[in-house]
Amino acid sequence: MKLYQDEGYNQLAGCLPLLVQLPIIMCIYNVVRSPLRYLCGLGKETIDAILAKATEINPSVGKDQIAALNTMREKFSEFTSIEGVAALEGNLPSFTVFGLDLSQIPKFGLDILIIIPIITFITVLTLFALMMISVPLNAQKNS
DSSP-assigned letters across all residues of 21-75: HHHHHHHHHHHHH-HHHHTS---HHHHHHHHHHHHHH-TT-TT-HHHHHHHHHHS
pLDDT score for 16: 73
**Which residues, at least 6 apart from 59, have a Cβ–Cβ distance to it below 8 Å?**
none
Q: Is the pLDDT of residue 73 over 90?
A: no
Q: Is 96 helix (H, G, I), strand (E, B) or coil?
A: strand
Q: How far apart are CA 26 and CA 12, in angstroms?
A: 21
Q: How far apart are CA 82 and CA 49, in angstroms?
A: 7
**Which residue in 104, 102, 94 sits closest to 35, CA to CA?**
94
121 — pLDDT class (breaks 50, 70, 90): very high
Q: Is the pLDDT of residue 93 over 80?
A: yes
Answering whether pTM is above 0.85, one says: no
Task: Judge whether 80 and 73 are in contact, CB under 8 Å.
Answer: no
Q: Is the pLDDT of residue 143 over 60?
A: no
Q: How far apart are CA 20 and CA 17, in angstroms?
A: 5
Q: Is the pLDDT of residue 46 over 60?
A: yes
